[in-house]
A and B are shown apart, each in its own frame.
Chain A
Amino acid sequence: MKILPIVIGIVAVIVLLVLGGALYTVHETETVILTQFGRAVGEPVLEPGLHFKTPFVQDVNRLEKRILEWDGDPSEMPTKDKMYISVDTFARWRISDPKTYFEKLGSERRAMSRLDDIIGSEVRTAVAGHELIEVVRSNKDRELPPNPTAEGTTASVQQKATRGRMALQKDILAAAAPKLTDLGIQLLDIRIKRVNYNQDVARNIYQRMISERQQIAQRFRSEGEGEAARINGRRGRDLLKVESEAYKRVQELQGEADAEASRIYAEAYNQSTEAQDFYGFLKTLDTYRRILGKQTSMILSTDSELFELLERSKK
């Protein structure tokens, strides 16, 4: 009577163990490859959910189904024009053939190291085959505006790109992708994340930037001086213009005044011989008044009109 619960217990444990060994789950993000004694069996399991396998002999190997990132370390390399730059790239990839991937690489760590090798060398090749400007510019068709503040300085010298970064990235992808398909990897794209000058190059670049800026500053100052000189010149000119125009007007007015006055006088004094005569008489008297004074001694003859009476009374 007491043996039955023990038997039930043992059977239950065995059933649980078998079920535990036979059941496994596949996550939304996973692909599972079953292996039997280390060798892959059957097709990869893509469907997420609960699945069965042969207990004890088959093992579950989980692979990523999602798109994966590869982020390379920045590495220094020369461009075609011998500029040393540090290039940092990233790529996206996915396991396109889980079985091949599992057999040839097995782990993500090994996959990453292959990606490092292959992408790294393709990036190097592409960069070495192009000038720096091709790595920097993305859209070769965009015309850079001339430096608005640096016209006439060396700062306005701009290089033109003939291909550009987008084309380079395509090149790298096209070269690297086929080498990875054999490993069950699909390379989706490669992008250059960062490009920076190495320290020595940077120092030169900074020197150049500084000298450019100095030229621009110099230009501003000389523009200021030039403009100020122009304004000062205009000031001098306008001043002379205003003054001389005024002088001219004044002279005209005075001339007109004198002419008009002369005309009026002439009209009055010239109207008849009597008028002329009378004017002469008046003017002479006026002149006497003006020129005879304290400084004058006058000797008058009794012949004169004024004193003729003296003479006559003597007689």
Chain B
Amino acid sequence: MHASGAYNGAMSQPTLAFRNPPDWSKLKVLKWIIPAVLILIMGLTMYYTVPYDSQGVVLRFGAYSTTEEPGLHFKMPFGIDAVEILPVKRQLKLEFGFATQGATNRTQSSGSRVTRDQERSMVTGDLNAALVEWVVQYSIDEPRLFLFKVRAPESTLRDLSEAVMREVIGDRTVDEVITTGRQEIEDLSLARLRELAKEYQLGVRIDQLQLKNVDPPGAVQDSFNEVNKAQQDREKMINIANGEYNKVIPRAKGEAEQTISEAEGYKLKRINEAAGDAAAFQSVLVEYLKAPEVTRKRLYLEAMAEVIPTLANTWIVDHGVTQLLPMVQSSALGGAK
């Protein structure tokens, strides 16, 4: 996959076998062995296969000759033709700050932990720090550029991607980086990386750039969690207060309506009673006016008949009696007569 074949330009040095002393009795066999070996070597070096997802770039004496599509192909033997196979249809991946375990392509992430730690630690625009992990997906777009224009295009792309990510992070606050600005950071760094990959003539097409874990540095992680917790606490306090409000106010409103309704009832009752009383009085009055004296007397006597039997004591005294007191006393002592 790599351009290591580039240095094989001078490989066509024939190796000649010297045999001494010449043993003429075996010459007949030798005559056949040498061409046979040559034919075998030619046969083994004259074909190659381009896999379904790749293209083969053929170099003749080191100079570009053709680009071949997938399939079985023939070439000139003895290193006259050299073939570079590039997986142009495969999506390649670069990981920054982390490494997928068991990845088939070992160059997609940095080998050592220390390097990965350095890759992801960044300084933000408000001079805070953040840990950013991301992935770049790309594919080889122009095999000739990829092979012949830039040495080590893959590691150049790595370097570029790191520089671009830091440009973008360096213009953002730690809060933007960690919470609100993810999409914007992805979009911006993707656009910028595309631009630079083109400018650098890497021969690759950048397909995607995705942020993975974005965290505050380990030492401050707790305090960031604390902020989240405080935010939840705030919501909780507000919710509790709202709950308390909702528990009290609707009930008070209901109760208020109840007392108002009762007062309305009272009003109706008062008015109806008054009207009733007035009507009753009116009826009685009409009759009274027809015979005032008699009615008056009757009513008086009826009332007396009701009242007097309920009294504790009743004395009937002649109108001539002037000294009432002794009589009342004797009755209190000896009972009434």
Q: Give chain B residues whose Cβ lies under 8 Å from the Cβ of A303.
A: 319
Let me know if B186 is at the binding interface, CB within 8 A: no
- Decide if A257 touches B267 in the complex (CB within 8 Å): yes
Q: Answer whether residue A57 sits at the interface, using C-beta atoms and an 8 A cutoff.
A: no
Q: Is the CB of B173 within 8 A of A294?
A: no
B284 within 8 A of A: yes
Within 8 Å of chain A (Cβ to Cβ): is B163?
yes
With a CB–CB cut-off of 8 A, which chain B residues contact A192? 163, 166
- B residues 15-40 with Cβ under 8 Å of A? 16
Known: A196-B118, A220-B230, A246-B256. A257 touches B270 (CB 8 A): yes
Query: Closest chain B residue to A303 by CB distance?
Result: B319
> What secondary structure prevails in chain B residues at the interface with A?
helix
Chain B residue at minimal CB-CB distance from A296 = B311
Minimum Cβ distance to chain B for residue A294 (Å): 6
In whole angstroms, what is the CA distance A65 to B223 when docked? Answer: 53
B226 on the A face (CB < 8 A): yes
A contact residues around B168 at 8 Å (CB): 138
How far in angstroms is the closest Cβ of chain A from B133?
Answer: 14
In the complex, which residues 282-337 of chain B have their Cβ closer than 8 Å to any Cβ of chain A? 282, 284-285, 288-289, 292, 296, 299-301, 303-304, 306-308, 310-319, 324, 328
**Chain A interface category by residue count:** 35 or more
Residues of A within 8 A of B306 (CB): 289
Which chain A residue shows the least CB distance to B271?
Answer: A260
B285 touches A278 (CB 8 A): yes
Say which residue of A47, A202, A234, A288 sits within 8 Å of B303 (CB atoms).
A288
- Collect the chain A residues with CB atoms within 8 Å of residue B7's CB: 27, 62
Q: Given the interface contacts A69-B155, A238-B249, A261-B271, does A301 sit within 8 Å of B319 by beta carbon?
A: yes
Interface residues in A1-36 by Cβ distance below 8 A to B read 13, 16, 20, 24-30
Known: A147-B173, A239-B249. A209 touches B223 (CB 8 A): yes
Contact A302 B318 (CB under 8 A): yes
Whether the pair A227, B234 counts as a contact (CB closer than 8 A) is: yes
Q: Which residues of A contact B231 (CB under 8 A)?
A: 149, 220
Residue from B124, B163, B268 within 8 A of A193 (CB atoms): B163
From A222, which residue of chain B is reached at the shortest CB distance? B234
Complex Cα–Cα for A265 and B12 (A): 135
* B173/A144 in contact, CB under 8 A: yes
Nearest opposing residue in chain A for B12, CB measure:
A25
A-B contact count (CB 8 A): 369
The reply on A282 being an interface residue by CB < 8 A is yes
Closest approach, in angstroms, between the C-beta of A222 and any C-beta of chain B?
A: 9
Q: Among the listed A166, A229, A297, which residue makes an inter-chain contact with B314, where contact means beta carbons less than 8 Å apart?
A: A297
Query: Which residues in A have their C-beta under 8 angstroms from that of B240?
Result: 228
Least CB separation from B181: chain A residue? A145
State whether B318 touches A69 (Cβ < 8 A): no
Counting CB contacts under 8 A, is A232 at the interface? yes
Contacts of A275 in B (CB 8 A): 281, 285
Instruction: For the complex formed, measure the closest distance between the CB of A193 and the CB atoms of chain B, giving whole angstroms.
Output: 5
Q: Which residue of B lies closest to A68 (CB)?
A: B151
Q: Is there an interface contact between A218 and B127, defined as CB atoms closer than 8 Å?
A: no
Is the CB of B205 closer than 8 A to any CB of chain A? Answer: no
A279–B259 CA distance with the chains assembled, in angstroms: 35
Please determine whether B3 and A29 come into contact, CB atoms closer than 8 angstroms.
yes
With both chains docked as a complex, state the minimum distance between the C-beta of B25 and any C-beta of chain A, in angstroms: 15
- A122 within 8 A of partner (CB): no
List which B158-185 residues lie within 8 A (CB) of chain A.
159-160, 162-163, 166-168, 170-176, 180
Q: Contact between B6 and A29 (Cβ–Cβ < 8 Å)?
A: yes
Can you sample 21 A-B contacts with CB below 8 Å?
Answer: A50-B61, A50-B62, A136-B123, A147-B175, A148-B175, A194-B122, A195-B166, A203-B219, A209-B174, A209-B223, A213-B220, A221-B234, A232-B245, A242-B253, A243-B252, A246-B256, A253-B263, A288-B303, A298-B308, A301-B316, A306-B301
Given contacts A231-B241, A232-B241, A257-B271, 14 further A-B pairs with CB under 8 A are A66-B150, A66-B151, A69-B156, A166-B167, A206-B217, A230-B241, A234-B245, A265-B277, A267-B278, A268-B279, A274-B292, A293-B311, A300-B314, A310-B316
A-B complex: 5 closest residue pairs judged by Cβ atoms: A224-B234, A246-B256, A257-B267, A268-B278, A213-B223
